[in-house]
Structure 1
Amino acid sequence: MACNQKKKETIMQTQKQVTAKDILGNPDYQAISYGGYRKKSRDSQPTIPQLKEDMKILSAMGIKVIRTYNVQSKLPHASNILKAITELKNEDENFEMYVMLGAWIDCLNAWTDKVPNHDVESPNNASEIARAVDLANQYPEIVKVIAVGNEAMVKWATSYYVQPDVILKWVNHLQDLKTEGKLSKELWITSSDDFASWGGGEDKYHVKALEDLVKAVDYISMHTYPYHNTHYNPEFWHVPNAHKGMPDTTKIEMAMERAIKFSQKQYDSVTNYMKSLGVKKPIHIGETGWASVSSGQYGNNGSRATDEYKQGLFHQQMRAWTNRAGISCFYFEAFNEQWKDAAHPNGSENHFGLFTIDGKAKYPIWDLVDEGVFDGLTRDGNTIRKTYNGNKVDLMKDVLVPPSKDEVMATH
């Protein structure tokens, strides 16, 4: 009995000592972006038992850090996740899961019928930050990072983006709370945004407030989506004329290798901008992913980028690169969520998950099903089985080769 008690105390002590500095960049702490929504509207909140089911599934596949996106008062999703993790930790002293807690940031008039004012912030931001602080203080053993905003500075987010000085203001506020002892000094503060917002793209982003923000955060959380660039910037994606005679699988594999290099180039561009400011801080990937279904511009009539096979290659290569390089990758995302594009069931935004909504494991993680890591686990009563009934021949029927260079030039 005394021996068991000592072991329990050691485990608890070890878990309490784990900080963001220990977790980020550590391949033993795999990360993922997580939303547990099952329905077409976020008005239907997943229950704590459902969230616990999901946490067990993610834990079984080696995930130990999840990223959430908001703590809005009408959406108790994040706070319920923290409750679910707490219950799991109480039930099993070895259960380990940490959270990068997102605080959503908007401009004035965002998501209304009024014209968004990108130079003025929403009055809701202050209460969003306050809720994030409360949760971080309530669950210090779980919340290891607060991210101020999600793609809140990138100018293509026309519904809600703000200027960098708004993000800087709230990052400084949180850093001040740490200095004053009102937040844990070990808590890391960042903002999670597109690589361009972090100075890796156009010069228009290179403003004084961004320079100050780079210096104010504990690390940079950047997003990179070669998937979207198969449409918007297809030069890297097309099959070169010199490759015309190659087998289709080789053409696809080479395209996916170029996709990874595309992300690496974006990562390097942010690194170079940071260094140009005389700053040396970790840079981690707050989001990257690849959809498995698209009825739109990434699908059969567009860039032909979308299917589970390509998703599997991207996931495998992205994990291999980031693990090797000591970069945390909050892969997007754990489960499909159909609220993201509720009007278009086959819209790509609904299909970035490694699992379907009913708990089927997509091709990227078929090997984990084979290994038995999900044995005994369910999602909403469904055992974890493979998509396509595990038949790769059937899966490959839905796989298209990227367009040739001539085809790309003809459509652009």
Structure 2
Amino acid sequence: MSGIRSVLAPAFAAAAMLSCGAPSGAAEYSKGANDREIRIGHTVPYSGPASAYGAVGLLTAAYYEMINARGGVNGRKIRFISLDDAYNPAKTVEQTRKLVEQDDVFAMIGQVGTVTSSAVQKYLNSRKIPQLLIASGASKWNDPKNYPYSTALYALYEMEGRVFAQYLLKHNPGARVSILIQNDDAGRDYAKGFKDGLGAAAAKMVVRELSYETSDTTIDSQIVALKASGADTLFMMATPKFGAQAIRKIAETGWKPAVYLAAVTASIGTVLQPAGPENAKGFMSAFAFKRADDPLWANTPDVIAYKKFFADWYKSGNISECSNVIAYATAYLTVRLLERCGDNLTRENLLKQATTLSDVELPLLLPGIKVNTSPDDYSPIRQMQIGRFNGASWVMEGELISADMR
């Protein structure tokens, strides 16, 4: 699936959050922006092994449609061009080149995936085209010296791994731990952060570490081998298809480890429900964002607005889907950044706005978590909270855990 979607977000009452009036004098533009529209490029797997993430593109399109219906950003409509890359790096390169060289996009915003976004990082940076708010927490997105035009809107995977490690050391320092990751930058970042967080204890606590390839048919053999290691704890990072497979196989084998799921594996709609929610009861994950379907947040203004958006603009969407939450926050922040640019719609100014965020409160972030970036530190989120799955929803426990990577 691929498409061109025109959407813009309304100027919510968050103007105070990101205040920056339009500069006086004549407007300035880079290619892809003019006094009528702003062209935003995007790639996402609408098909292939990670097609569940296609929800990101669908929600983003709906959000920008809402914004355009309300007049656009500073009088300009957003033309959202979202193409299918099937979670295939070669396809990502092809589609990104099309967006840049044929569609003349102003910026690439909200691309999905570590391996896919990595495939075009050098290309986009060499052309000084912003590659912003990537849906990935790989450490490479916090490298302003070598890749100044690439930023993310995820808690860094290494940081998240450290959060899990801190929790485990506090609650079960004698655990025998197994690790299962996807064999790519994302998986390696998760494993590194987790082991670094365990520190000297890692050598004793980690008894087996395995990986899988996205081209694999199943990961049943890895689960069997990890069970055989004698581990009583599993730390797992997997995309939705493989995460659901792993959870089903754990249940089939009768293995009963304490399971820590990376945030990318914690979706109720695309992982836990296909795996059988009863099979994941008691599993833990780490969160920076609210669960919109959690009764705890039902009466908060941002969740009310989120549900209204679905009712009015995205009726086919799943409120419980984690990917929708990050897509919503990304689209919201994109509009804020464009608003901050005013009439100076140059790629350099957009990058400046994205890398000078101070205590920004985004919709659906957990209380106490704010987004911060600076020209020498692009890591946007530095705190998370552990949640436990009760068979129906994630229940937060304990305090926010900080694991600043600076």
- Say whether the fold is shared (TM-score over 0.5): no
Relative to the length of structure 2, the TM-score reads: 0.29
Structure (1 or 2) with the greater strand fraction: 2
TM superposition score normalised by structure 1: 0.29
